[in-house]
Amino acid sequence: SSGINAEYGGTDIQEKKCSWLFLTASAIASPEQKELLFENYGKSDEASVAAVKALYNTLNIRQCYLDYSVKTYREICEIIEKDKSGLPSEIFSDFLDMIHKRSK
């Protein structure tokens, strides 16, 4: 998912998508948490989806995403400021602002 909401909406869990949420959770989870994630990810039953969402909450994935989003936005802004291509920086800044904090 390109964005995130409080309920981790969508069907990424059921469809076993290689999402930012899943990759981040698998990177920071303990071995036991990874086992729970891999056992439940890609299943459509409510209990499995709920287990993954609960793990996301335990791992504070929402805050991880928000932190990553802010950090990346700042890094891109710095790159835009340093750009020497001769193009107006507003082109890049306006586009960045359009996609930053979008929900989909």
pLDDT of residue 99: 83
Higher pLDDT, residue 59 or 101: 59
Number of H helices, E strands in the chain: 6, 0
Angle at the Cα of 64 from the Cα atoms of 59 and 68, rounded to 5 degrees:
160
Q: State pTM to two decimals.
A: 0.75
pLDDT in tens, 27-77: 999 999 999 999 999 999 999 999 999 999 999 999 999 999 999 999 999
The mean predicted confidence, pLDDT, of the chain is: 88
pLDDT at 60: 96
> Beta-carbon neighbour count of residue 71 at 10 Å?
10
How confident is the model at residue 104, as a pLDDT?
55
Q: What is the pLDDT of residue 102?
A: 67
Token pair of 60 as six digits: 């504070």
